[in-house]
A and B are shown apart, each in its own frame.
Chain A
């Protein structure tokens, strides 16, 4: 069994960190776009109303005003649903925020299929791809509540634009307060030499569960939580490729151009080994309960375990 310390949505880690940051630093400013409570920035709004702006349903202005606040010397966090935080104002993020290397932090909530019943329009499955291709942008996909809190705290003082991807659904807490967190440094959660499972976000838990399934079959897998997609921990990936000789990536995101692709870019340049990719396979999501969708779209521990067995045949 994977050791779990309760269940809570990562969005609350983001919101709690903002309040803590706001108490310590008068330069922290938060902007919302009519989704204030659902993306868990209402705590900051209540506590620091003069450092909070709700722009309404206007995401290009959300990013534009955050950029202006950064020019004025603040550390702005702009947050809304991931589809609208990354896709709608993409060019503002590119040209205004990244090109000027501004200290704007973007919180993309409601990521992945687990948004559930709202369906495909609201299930952000492309943000890793469209954010990681931007020069200067840092992309973090934390795996649980505690890691999201740490990522948010760290992002505030990590120079330049940062995108943090988090979610709405309650998910298992698998890290501890004392688990190390450093932007750009992956965490090895489980050792094994037969294959390595590299995961981000909600798929870290599923990967740990997959390792348990495989263990029973005598297959020992390494599991790495790669919370920072960019700058990615190349050393951890190369070491895993060399040690295990086969890699499976897992992400609650499109396979094309996402996390798995980022890992593959490192693998093929440095230490080519067979790879398999678990993720959403070039399709939109749909309405349903989170657990049912994860199953339907093949993002469960069993799917990851199957991918490991498949990749081992090519090792």
Chain B
């Protein structure tokens, strides 16, 4: 898909995130908005994903380690037509398949495993990747993490294992928006230099601007051509990207917009479409 088309889809995903969270009245807009391009490019240009059969044995696997940003995943799944746009309006309501954090037991297509407790996704991805390798299958595994959850020790247990097991079918993506609930990641507990850390652990590392679709496409392509190591894409992003009053503000980590602010946000996103 052309970059221009991915941009249009990204804008639609951003609008859905705002609408869903506005309706739900709770949830996490900041990190959802910072991950948009990373997921749109992945689902529309790189990942083997069949929206009509999300359990296709030939699929690539996606694990949302930063489970709190599931609105972006739900919105992307709706764009693939794997789930309906109407269902997005049920986010966080009783009986909905769209739980506040992704839930395997609700059987929403495209959710491989329940996530939301931070720091677990990389191990899960490494396990899937190890299984696929043993079965001599070519499917790939993608894990999206936040920068804040790099503070979890369990991430580094997995970061050690994946290169040791030569899991070149594993691609980790860090949405490095530099903010967490309590403020700037570097002030709460500095995790930088992240790329050097992954490199030292034995990963193929790629640093990009996480909103530059061409750079994202190139990074995913480079990860696929890596024959020996797992790849870590460290994507510098802006928390709340695309909504001026949310950008780079930790307070929008877990706060939803009022009706008026949601309308303002939607108008801003519409304006970017020209």
A residues with CB within 8 A of B: 29, 50-51, 53, 55-56, 58, 60-61, 63-74, 76, 91-92, 95-96, 99-102
Contacts and interface: CB of A to CB of B under 8 A. Distances in A.
Contact of A61 (B114, B116, B157): B157
Contacts of A65: 123-124, 126-127, 130, 158, 161
Task: Tell me what chain A mostly uses at the interface: helix, strand, loop, or mixed.
Answer: helix
Given A61-B158, A95-B120, A96-B113, A71 B126 contact: no
Interface in B119-163: 119-120, 122-132, 134-135, 153-154, 157-158, 160-161
Given A50-B134, A53-B165, A68-B124, A60 B153 contact: yes
Contact of A29 (B103, B114, B119, B131): B131
Residue among A67, A68, A71, A92 with the highest chain B CB neighbour number at 10 A: A68
Contacts, number: 107
A68 B154 contact: no
Interface residues of B, number: 33
B116 A53 contact: no
A175 to B, nearest CB: 34
Give 7 closest A-B pairs by Cβ, nearest first.
A68-B127, A64-B123, A72-B131, A65-B127, A61-B157, A100-B104, A58-B157
Nearest to B139: A72
Contact of B126 (A68, A76, A96, A102): A68
A51 B134 contact: yes
B105 to A, nearest CB: 6
Nearest to A50: B134
Nearest to B127: A68
Given A55-B157, A99-B105, A100-B104, A71 B123 contact: no
Interface string B14-33: 00000000000000000000
Residue among B63, B116, B125, B128 with the highest chain A CB neighbour number at 10 A: B128
Contacts of B74: none
Contact of A67 (B61, B127, B134): B127
B117 A95 contact: yes
